Amino acid sequence: MKPIEERENLSEEQFLNEIRGQVKPVVIRGLVKDWPVVKAAQVSDAECAAYISRFAGPEQYKIGVAPFEAKGLLHYNKELKGLNFEWEHADVGNFLQILLDEGDFDNPRGLALQALRVANSLLGFENANPRPSFAPAHANPHMWIGNALKIATHSDTAENLACVVAGERRFTIFPPDQISNLYIGPLHFTPAGTPVSMVHLTEPDFEKYPKFAQALEHAQYVDLFPGDALYLPFRWYHHVEASKKFNILLNYWWTDARPGIGSAFTALNHALYSIGNMPPEQRDAWREVFDHFVFHKHGDPWAHIPDHARGPLANVKDEDIAAIRENLIEQIRNG
């Protein structure tokens, strides 16, 4: 594995042109070092917890609780019939106190409050800890709170700017083209909403998952500390390991994909049960069709047809979206 590229004094223009524009991950040391919450974390875990609690309300949220034997890995159980942790509920303030109390134990449970929507759950927090200029206005901030956890390799359907608030985290990342070497688990049943790798990066079983060795040849890593940030392009895979007893990360997710056009994951599900179950020669033929019309492998597939005759799928207008969706639903109903 090689270290992820680090950039200092990165301007917004450089970020847009040299990083996002080239689809490259990058580490930005000290990007949010001036946040009050980061400064509180540098005083103590308790000070950081008290600072965040000021913005929290009484609402209850799901928290993952894993036994000590899980070694901080939130994943499937050995039989792949369930999870190796349970879901409980707590409000933010109580959870932070539980986390602090658990830190006094030699063998703490794995504790995680994941993807807490800052805008809804920590009112006023973002005003006090303003978003970096690299994260656009439509980026959604989420907070991740836990102890020494390992989050299995997965990818997001969005770009990601991850900022460490407290503790330490190691990110190990893989480009999207390594999907076939990562042994992705079930799509219908996941630990926390997104498909994850079946390989435990910190203890890989190369006999069971031999192609993972090839993925590691393309892997990059970084250790992040309070105030540091990592930018991950769309659908880059990442394994996250927190090493302290009190860890907080705040990330921004965003996508510039056109709103309202539906989920690509829904399209994947449909393709899996239709095209995925065809004979091999038919799948090969449909691959060519998709490459041509969907992925524009050979350029604009409609260039030879006058604009008025291309149909609504060639240039989807906002006013057409509802009708197109209804038409697709009707096609699925009719098989």
Residues 128 and 156 in one domain: yes
What would the pLDDT profile of 144-194 be if each residue is shown by its tens digit?
A: 999 999 999 999 999 999 999 999 999 999 999 999 999 999 999 999 889
Out of 192, 220, 254, pick the residue that ends a domain.
254
For residue 27, which phi and psi values (nearest 5 degrees)? -100, 135
Rounded distance between C-alpha atoms, residue 121 and residue 106, angstroms: 31
23 and 171 inside one domain: yes
* Average predicted confidence (pLDDT) for the chain: 94
Total domains present in the chain: 2
- 176 and 290 fall within a common domain: no
Quick check: is 170 in a domain? yes
Question: Is residue 82 located within the same domain as residue 183?
Answer: yes
What are the pLDDT digits (tens) for 284-302?
A: 999 999 999 999 999 999 9
Q: What is the pLDDT along the chain (335 residues), one digit of tens a residue?
A: 999 999 988 999 999 999 999 999 999 999 999 999 999 999 999 999 999 999 999 999 999 999 999 999 999 999 999 999 999 999 999 999 999 999 888 889 999 999 999 999 999 999 999 999 999 999 999 999 999 999 999 999 999 999 999 999 999 999 999 999 999 999 999 998 899 999 999 999 999 999 999 999 999 999 999 999 999 999 999 999 999 999 999 999 999 988 888 888 889 988 998 999 999 999 999 999 999 999 999 999 999 999 989 988 888 888 888 888 888 888 888 87
Q: Is residue 8 part of a domain?
A: yes
Neighbours of 244 (CB within 10 A): 15
Is 85 within the bounds of a domain? yes
Q: Is residue 240 domain-shared with residue 279, that is, in the same domain? A: no
Do 318 and 196 lie in one domain? The reply is no
- Its domain, for residue 102, covers 2-254
58 and 153 fall within a common domain: yes
Could you read off the pLDDT of 243-258 as tens digits, one per residue? 999 999 999 999 998 8
Same domain, 187 and 88: yes
User: Cα-Cα-Cα-Cα dihedral of 257, 258, 262, 265, to 10°?
Assistant: -10
Residues 181 and 314 placed together within one structural domain of the fold = no
Domain-terminating residue out of 233, 254, 275: 254
Q: How far is CA 319 from CA 194, 212, 259, 309, 315, in A?
A: 31, 46, 13, 17, 11
Residues 195 and 285 both lie in one domain: no
272 and 222 housed in the same domain? no
- Same domain? For 268 and 214 the reply is no
pTM equals: 0.92
Q: How far apart are CA 62 and CA 83, in angstroms?
A: 15
- Position 259 in a domain: no
Domain final position from 254, 289, 307: 254
CATH number of the domain residue 58 falls in: 2.60.120.650
> Using CA atoms, how far apart are residues 288 and 258, in angstroms rounded to an integer?
25
